[in-house]
Amino acid sequence: MAEMTFECPRCQQHICCEEAWSGHEIQCPTCKNALKVPANPAAAAAAGDPLAPKVSAGGTNLSLGQTQRPAPQNRNIPIRNMAPPPPSKKNPVLTYGAPIVVLVVLGLGGFLGYGWYQQRQAKAREAEQNAAAAAARAQNVSNEQAAAEAAAQAAANAVHPPVWTLDLAAVKTPQGRVNGMVAGADFLADVVRVDPVGGAQVLHFIQGQIASPDRSILVYLHLKPGEKLGGQTFDISSEMKGAGIPRVTKLWKPTVVSPPQFKNFSSGYALKLELGEMTNGVVPGTIFLALPDPEQSVIAGAFQAATESGTAASNARTRHTRKR
């Protein structure tokens, strides 16, 4: 049997059914709206169309030589929906939730990662600043130490001329290098030594070469049995006399080519001598010595006197360095 197609007047759904249902009331399979199937070809024949098929009065012409009564209105009409099925609705949570979660995770990861990176950078900068500050402090300490050593060396090498006096109470010993006047000429101690001579320890202040000095002062110190040279103090006034008084010898050359001359003093001079403890064969100390000679010879200042043991150790170190 022929089929016909029409639209639902309410939802415009395309409906296909057999022509036998023309003029019957049916229900739209989509919107459930009650509607009437449009007129069938029999209606068109009644209107005078010569090409329309003939329909018997007793029912609908379904096929040649057969008639069929119209289906009751309440029967379920076999109608085929020609429209494509409506698109399925997607869950918006599934549609948009996953990208949002990914963006949130990426954002949180980026935020935490950036914070971690910033902390690392801050710690690195702090470490660099601390290292730079430590280096600066070390450099400052080194500079201060070097400056202090230079100042100490400069003070040790400084020359402060002493004032001649035989009054021991008026003696002022400068802290600079031992210097003064000997036999009317300027004196500056190039070498200070302590050497054993007989039963005495001779404190020798030398200007020039050790073997042939231009000027020098020798102080003969007689220590008691068991006494050490380091830590000794001698205060000899010009009035003191006796066997316990150290002998002082003045040596000088009138000219560069002249043989050396000597003069001994057993009393009448003023001496203030302080010796520190020996360290590595070196005895530190200070001296003030004024002689009762016509030239008013005087020497004073601080010194570092090398001893025989210190000289031997220094020579041993020199030999060891040369072997290496």
- Note whether 173 and 276 are same-domain residues: yes
Given a contact cutoff of 8 angstroms between Cβ atoms, the answer to whether 268 and 259 are in contact is: no
Q: Is residue 87 part of a domain?
A: no
Q: What is the pLDDT of residues 173-201, one digit of tens each?
A: 988 999 999 999 999 999 999 999 988 99
| pLDDT confidence of residue 167 | 95
Going by C-beta distance under 8 Å and a sequence separation of 6 or more, which residues neighbour residue 200? 220, 221, 222
- Average pLDDT of span 135-145: 87
Going by C-beta distance under 8 Å and a sequence separation of 6 or more, which residues neighbour residue 262? 249, 250, 251
- Above 90 in pLDDT, residue 109? no
| pLDDT confidence of residue 23 | 82
Query: Within 13 Å, how many C-alpha atoms sit on residue 250's CB side?
Result: 25
Tokens of 316: 């041993």
- Note whether 301 and 194 are same-domain residues: yes
- Note whether 64 and 176 are same-domain residues: no
Q: What are phi and psi of 57, to 5 degrees?
A: -70, -25
Q: Tell me which range, 12-21, 138-147, 198-207, is most confidently predicted by mean pLDDT.
A: 198-207
Average pLDDT, the chain: 81
Q: What is the pLDDT of residues 192-246, one digit of tens each?
A: 999 999 889 999 999 999 989 999 999 999 988 888 988 999 999 999 998 889 9
- Note whether 74 and 182 are same-domain residues: no
| pLDDT confidence of residue 75 | 44
| pLDDT confidence of residue 40 | 62
| pLDDT confidence of residue 72 | 44
Q: Is residue 231 part of a domain?
A: yes
- Average pLDDT of span 245-254: 95
Q: Is residue 98 part of a domain?
A: no
Given a contact cutoff of 8 angstroms between Cβ atoms, the answer to whether 178 and 287 are in contact is: yes
How many structural domains does the chain have?
2
User: Cα–Cα–Cα angle for 285, 290, 291, nearest 5°?
Assistant: 130
- Above 70 in pLDDT, residue 323? no
- Average pLDDT of span 104-124: 86
- Note whether 77 and 175 are same-domain residues: no
- Note whether 197 and 316 are same-domain residues: yes
pLDDT band at 38 (very low <50, low <70, confident <90, very high): confident
Q: Which residue has the higher pLDDT, 87 or 250?
A: 250
Q: Is residue 155 part of a domain?
A: no
pLDDT band at 171 (very low <50, low <70, confident <90, very high): very high
- Above 90 in pLDDT, residue 156? no
H/E run at residue 105: helix 92-157
How far is residue 247's CA from residue 187's CA, in Å, rounded to a whole number? 20
Of 39, 62, 81, the one marking the end of a domain is 81
- Note whether 65 and 193 are same-domain residues: no
- Average pLDDT of span 277-293: 96
- Above 60 in pLDDT, residue 54? no
Given a contact cutoff of 8 angstroms between Cβ atoms, the answer to whether 229 and 194 are in contact is: yes
Which letter, b or e, does each residue of 181-216 get, where b requires 16 or more Cβ atoms within 10 Å of its Cβ? bbbeeebbbebbbbeeeeebbbbbbbbeeeeebbbb
Given a contact cutoff of 8 angstroms between Cβ atoms, the answer to whether 150 and 158 are in contact is: no
Q: How far is CA 281 from CA 57, 193, 207, 216, in A?
A: 154, 11, 21, 22
- Above 60 in pLDDT, residue 52? no
- Above 90 in pLDDT, residue 289? yes
Given a contact cutoff of 8 angstroms between Cβ atoms, the answer to whether 41 and 52 are in contact is: yes
How far is residue 91's CA from residue 96's CA, in Å, rounded to a whole number? 9
How far is residue 256's CA from residue 251's CA, in Å, rounded to a whole number? 13
In the chain the first and final C-alpha atoms are separated, in Å, by 127
| pLDDT confidence of residue 192 | 97
- Note whether 175 and 297 are same-domain residues: yes
Whole domain around residue 66: which residue ranges? 3-81
Q: What is the dihedral of CA 84, 85, 86, 87, to 10 degrees?
A: -100
- Note whether 50 and 187 are same-domain residues: no
Of 81, 98, 116, the one marking the end of a domain is 81
Amino acid at site 68: Q
| pLDDT confidence of residue 87 | 67
pLDDT band at 42 (very low <50, low <70, confident <90, very high): low
Of 32, 48, 81, the one marking the end of a domain is 81
Q: Is residue 37 part of a domain?
A: yes
Q: Is residue 244 part of a domain?
A: yes
Q: Is residue 130 part of a domain?
A: no
Q: How far is CA 204 from CA 27, 193, 207, in A?
A: 142, 5, 10
H/E run at residue 127: helix 92-157
Q: Is residue 278 part of a domain?
A: yes
- Note whether 73 and 174 are same-domain residues: no
How far is residue 22's CA from residue 42's CA, in Å, rounded to a whole number? 9
Q: Which residue has the higher pLDDT, 81 or 252?
A: 252
- Average pLDDT of span 315-322: 50
DSSP secondary structure letter of residue 305:
E
